[in-house]
Chains A and B, each alone.
Chain A
Amino acid sequence: MATKTDNNRAWLFVIPVVALVAFNALVPLMTVVNYSVQETFGDNLFFWHGLGWFEDILRSERAHAALGRQMLFTAIILVIEVPLGVAIALAMPRKGPWVSVCLVLMALPLLIPWNVVGAMWNILALPDIGLLGHTINAMGIDYNFTQQPIAAWFTMVLMDVWHWTSLVVLLAYAGLISIPDAYYQAAKIDGARGWAVFRHIQLPKMNRVLTIAILLRFMDSFMVYTEPFVLTGGGPGNSTTLLSIDLVKMAVGQFDLGRGGAMSLIYFLITLLVSWIFYTLMTRNESQ
Chain B
Amino acid sequence: MARIGLSKLSHSYVPDPAAPADWAIKEMDIEWSDGGAYALLGPSGCGKTTLLNIISGLVTPSRGSVLFNGVDVTRLPPEQRNIAQVFQFPVTYDTMSVYANLAFPLRNRGIPDTQVQARVREIADMLELTDQLGRRASGLAADEKQKISMGRGLVRQDVNAMMFDEPLTVIDPHLKWTLRSKLKELHQRVGVTMIYVTHDQTEALTFADQVVVMQDGEVVQIGTPVDLFERPAHTFVGHFIGSPGMNVLPCEIRSGGAFFAGRHIPVDAGIGVPKPGARVELGVRPEFTRFADDGVPVTVIRVADAGRHRIVETRAGDTRINLLVPETAEVPTGDACLAFDPAHTRVYMDGWVSEAA
Write the residues of chain A forming the contact surface with B, with a CB cutoff of 8 angstroms: 180, 182-183, 185-186, 188-193, 196, 200-201, 203-204, 288
Q: Contact: A186 with B108, CB < 8 Å?
A: no
| Interface range, B side | 20 to 34
Determine which of A186, A193, A196, A200 lies in contact with B85 in the assembled complex, contact meaning CB atoms within 8 Å. A186
CA A193 to CA B83, docked complex, whole Å: 16
Determine which of B83, B88, B104 lies in contact with A182 in the assembled complex, contact meaning CB atoms within 8 Å. B88
Residue numbers in B under 8 Å from A196 (CB-CB): 108
Q: How far is the CB of B348 from chain A (nearest CB, A)?
A: 39
> What 16 additional pairs, Cβ within 8 angstroms, besides A185-B78, A204-B95?
A182-B89, A182-B91, A183-B91, A185-B85, A186-B87, A188-B58, A188-B78, A188-B79, A189-B56, A189-B83, A189-B84, A190-B79, A190-B152, A191-B105, A200-B95, A204-B93
Q: Which chain A residue has the least Cβ–Cβ distance from B136?
A: A288
Residue numbers in B under 8 Å from A204 (CB-CB): 93-95
With contacts A182-B91, A200-B93 known, is A189 near B108, CB below 8 A? no
Q: Contact: A189 with B94, CB < 8 Å?
A: no
One digit per residue, 1 when the CB lies within 8 angstroms of any chain A CB and 0 when it does not, for chain B 113-150 equals 00000000000000000000000100000000000010
Q: How far is the CB of A190 from chain B (nearest CB, A)?
A: 4
Residue numbers in B under 8 Å from A183 (CB-CB): 91
Residue numbers in A under 8 Å from B79 (CB-CB): 188-191
Q: How far is the CB of A256 from chain B (nearest CB, A)?
A: 51
Q: How far is the CB of B356 from chain A (nearest CB, A)?
A: 47
Determine which of B58, B77, B108 lies in contact with A192 in the assembled complex, contact meaning CB atoms within 8 Å. B108
> Across the A-B interface, how many residue pairs have beta carbons closer than 8 Å?
49
Residue numbers in A under 8 Å from B58 (CB-CB): 185, 188
17 A–B contacts, CB within 8 A, in A order: A182-B87, A182-B89, A185-B58, A185-B85, A185-B87, A188-B58, A189-B84, A190-B104, A190-B105, A191-B108, A191-B109, A192-B108, A193-B108, A196-B108, A200-B96, A201-B93, A204-B93
Residue numbers in B under 8 Å from A190 (CB-CB): 79, 104-105, 108, 152
Residue numbers in A under 8 Å from B152 (CB-CB): 186, 190
Write the residues of chain B forming the contact surface with A, with a CB cutoff of 8 angstroms: 56, 58, 77-79, 83-85, 87-89, 91, 93-96, 104-105, 108-109, 136, 149, 152
Q: How far is the CB of A92 from chain B (nearest CB, A)?
A: 23
CA A196 to CA B83, docked complex, whole Å: 19
Residue numbers in B under 8 Å from A288 (CB-CB): 136
CA A123 to CA B180, docked complex, whole Å: 70
Best-surrounded residue of B79, B88, B89, B91 (most CB of chain A within 10 A)? B91
Q: Which chain A residue has the least Cβ–Cβ distance from B163?
A: A189
Residue numbers in B under 8 Å from A189 (CB-CB): 56, 78-79, 83-85, 105
Q: Which chain B residue has the least Cβ–Cβ distance from A196?
A: B108
CA A193 to CA B79, docked complex, whole Å: 10
Q: How far is the CB of A108 from chain B (nearest CB, A)?
A: 34
CA A10 to CA B136, docked complex, whole Å: 45
CA A200 to CA B56, docked complex, whole Å: 22
Q: How far is the CB of B342 from chain A (nearest CB, A)?
A: 49
Q: How far is the CB of A149 from chain B (nearest CB, A)?
A: 42
Residue numbers in B under 8 Å from A188 (CB-CB): 58, 77-79
Q: Which chain A residue has the least Cβ–Cβ distance from B85?
A: A189
CA A287 to CA B15, docked complex, whole Å: 46
Q: Which chain B residue has the least Cβ–Cβ distance from A191?
A: B108
CA A200 to CA B83, docked complex, whole Å: 21
Q: How far is the CB of A53 from chain B (nearest CB, A)?
A: 47
Q: How far is the CB of A32 from chain B (nearest CB, A)?
A: 43
CA A169 to CA B77, docked complex, whole Å: 31
Residue numbers in A under 8 Å from B89 (CB-CB): 180, 182
CA A186 to CA B83, docked complex, whole Å: 11
Residue numbers in B under 8 Å from A192 (CB-CB): 104, 108
CA A201 to CA B108, docked complex, whole Å: 14
CA A92 to CA B104, docked complex, whole Å: 28
Residue numbers in A under 8 Å from B85 (CB-CB): 185-186, 189
CA A201 to CA B92, docked complex, whole Å: 9
Q: Contact: B77 with A186, CB < 8 Å?
A: no
Residue numbers in A under 8 Å from B105 (CB-CB): 189-191
Q: How far is the CB of A219 from chain B (nearest CB, A)?
A: 27
**Interface pairs A-B: 4 shortest CB-CB:** A191-B108, A182-B87, A186-B91, A190-B105
Q: Which chain B residue has the least Cβ–Cβ distance from A186?
A: B91
Residue numbers in A under 8 Å from B96 (CB-CB): 200
CA A192 to CA B152, docked complex, whole Å: 12
Best-surrounded residue of A182, A183, A192 (most CB of chain B within 10 A)? A182
CA A188 to CA B78, docked complex, whole Å: 7
CA A193 to CA B77, docked complex, whole Å: 12
Residue numbers in A under 8 Å from B88 (CB-CB): 182
CA A191 to CA B77, docked complex, whole Å: 10
CA A236 to CA B37, docked complex, whole Å: 77
Best-surrounded residue of A183, A190, A192, A201 (most CB of chain B within 10 A)? A190
Residue numbers in B under 8 Å from A203 (CB-CB): 95
Residue numbers in B under 8 Å from A186 (CB-CB): 85, 87, 91, 149, 152
